[in-house]
Amino acid sequence: MFKSKKNTNGLNIIIVGCGKVGLTLIEQLTKEGHDITVIDRKPSVIQNVTNLYDVMGVVGNGASYSVQKDAGVDSADLIVAVTNSDELNLLCCTVAKRVGNCAAIARVRTPDYSNEAPYLKDELGLAMIINPDLEAAKEAARILYLPTALEVNSFAHGQAELVKFVIPEDNIINGITVARLGNSITNDILICAIERNNEVYIPNGDFQLMAGDVISFVSDKNSARSFLKKIGFNTRQVKDVMIIGGSRFAYYLAKELLSMKIGVKIIEQNEETCQFFSTILPGAIVINGDGTDPDILKEAGIQHSQAFVPLTGIDEENIMLTLYAKKVSNAKVITKINKINFKEVVNSLDLGSVVYPKNIASEAIIAYVRARNNSKDSNIETLYHMFDYKIEAIEFLVDKPSHVTDIPLKNLKLKNDVLISFINRNGKIIIPTGNDSIMVGDTVMIVTKQTGFDNINDIAL
C-alpha cells in the first residue's frame, strides 16, 4: 500500500486496473478533487501511478474481499473496474456491492456480455456497464454516415449532433461572421467552438470565420447534413469500408455498418479469427492476410475504397496505414488511437477523423461521477471533451426550478466562456435565441472552457 488517504470534498473512488482507461480516469478525477485509490496486480504499476498522481495504491487482485477492504471499500462511494478481463470486472463489482455500500461501474467489451449488458446491469445492481469499443464503433459509424465531418457526437438520446469539420479555402463561409452565417445561410445550427492556430474560441456573433478553422457546431439530427450540403460539402454516406484487423472494435463497427447497408471488407491475419468473423458477420467480405502489406491492400482494392479504417492493436501501425491510404486513395479515413502520448505530433499529421476509445469510456464515467457528487437537483446526462480537453460539452437534465429556469436567456448573466448550445424539450431540439428560456423537464447542453461543472446552475453568475 502506498500513500495515505487525503480529505477532499469529492467522492471516495476505487479504480481497479491501471491500463489506458484506468490512467485516463485517474488523471481526470484527481484533477477534479476526488479521493482515489487504485488497485492493480503489479507492484511496479502501482508504484508508477502513485509517483505520478496523488492517489493511494493497493497491490492485489481487485476481486479479492481482503484487497478491497485494504482499499477502503467500506467507505467508498464508487468502484470502477476497468481491467482487461470482463469477468474480473464484473466480479470486482459484485464483491464490492456485497461488502460495501458503493455504486459500481464495470467495463465490459466482449460481444457475448455486451449483448446482455442491460440484464447484467439490473441483476448485479450496477450503476453502469461501459463498452468503449462499442461506443467508439458507433461514433465511427456516425462519421461514415456523414463523411465530410471529422467528428460526429450524439446528444439528447440521438436527437442532437455535435459535428466538427474544417473550412476549406474556397468555401462560402470563409471570411463571414458567425452572425452573418445565421442571417444569410441558416439558423438551424449553432457554432459552439472554433480552433485556430491551436487556440480554441467560443465565438460571439462578431467572430469572423476563416479557411483552416476547425468548427464544431450543434444541430438537430436532420439539420447537420442539410447545412453542410448548403455550404457546398458532399454529404452522401460512404458505400463501402475497408477495415484492417479483426478486433472487437472491428466487429462492432462492421455490425453497425452492415445495418446501414454499407459494404464491409475486413482484412485479418489470423485464420481462425477470419473464420469466426465470416460466421458472425455473413454480410461482410473477410480476407485472410496481412493488412499492413501494401500489395495485399492493393489487391483488396484500397485504391477504390470509399472509406478506410485501420483497427490494429498498435497505434503507430494505424497511423502509418492511414497515411498510406491517403496517399493511394481518396478514401475517408478514421484513425483509432488508444494510448499514444505524442499529441503534438499526432495533431500535426493529416489523419482524418481520430477516435479515442479510452476517452469515450472515461467521459461516460466522469459524467456519472459529477452527477453523483452533485448534491443539487440537476443531473449530467452526457459529457464530452472537445479539442484535447480544452472545452467541455455537458448535457444537463433540469428537473426542478432554479435561478436559471423560466428566465429569457438574454436576461441570464452567464459566466465567461459559457454558451447554451441547445435545449431539448420533449424530443424537440431548440437552437436558443435570447427570448428562449430553460424550463423544468428540459435537457440543456452547454459548451464551456471552464471545467468541473456538475449542475445547470453553475452556468450563471
Lowest mean pLDDT among 50-54, 276-280, 300-304, 365-369: 365-369
SS3 248: helix
Fold of 12-130: Rossmann fold (3.40.50)
Of 4 and 158, the one with more pLDDT: 158
Q: Which sign, positive or negative, has the C-alpha torsion 225, 227, 229, 233?
A: negative
How many C-beta atoms surround the C-beta of residue 362 within 10 A? 27
The CATH code of the domain at 364-459 is 3.30.70.1450
**Can you tell me the mean pLDDT for 292-317?**
96
The per-residue pLDDT for range 366-409, each reduced to its tens digit, is 988 988 876 544 478 898 989 988 999 999 999 899 999 999 99
Lowest mean pLDDT among 1-10, 11-20, 406-415: 1-10
Q: Which residues, in sequence order, are bridge partners of residue 155?
A: 160
pLDDT at 330 over 90: yes
**Can you tell me the mean pLDDT for 193-211?**
95
The mean pLDDT of the chain is: 92
pTM given for the model: 0.89
C-alpha of 235 from chain center: 23
CA–CA separation, 134 and 155 (whole Å): 16
CB under 8 Å to 310, separation ≥6 — which residues?
243, 244, 245, 291, 317, 318, 321, 322, 325, 335, 336
Fold of 240-355: Rossmann fold (3.40.50)
CATH 3.40.50.720 residue ranges for the chain: 12-130, 240-355
Lowest mean pLDDT among 20-34, 155-169, 334-348, 416-430: 334-348
pLDDT at 51 over 90: yes
Cell numbers of 353, please?
Answer: 477523423
Per-residue pLDDT at 202? 96
Per-residue pLDDT at 376? 46
Has domain 136-230 been given CATH number 3.40.50.1820? no
Of 7 and 328, the one with more pLDDT: 328
Per-residue pLDDT at 6? 52
CATH 3.30.70.1450 residue ranges for the chain: 136-230, 364-459
Of 422 and 342, the one with more pLDDT: 422
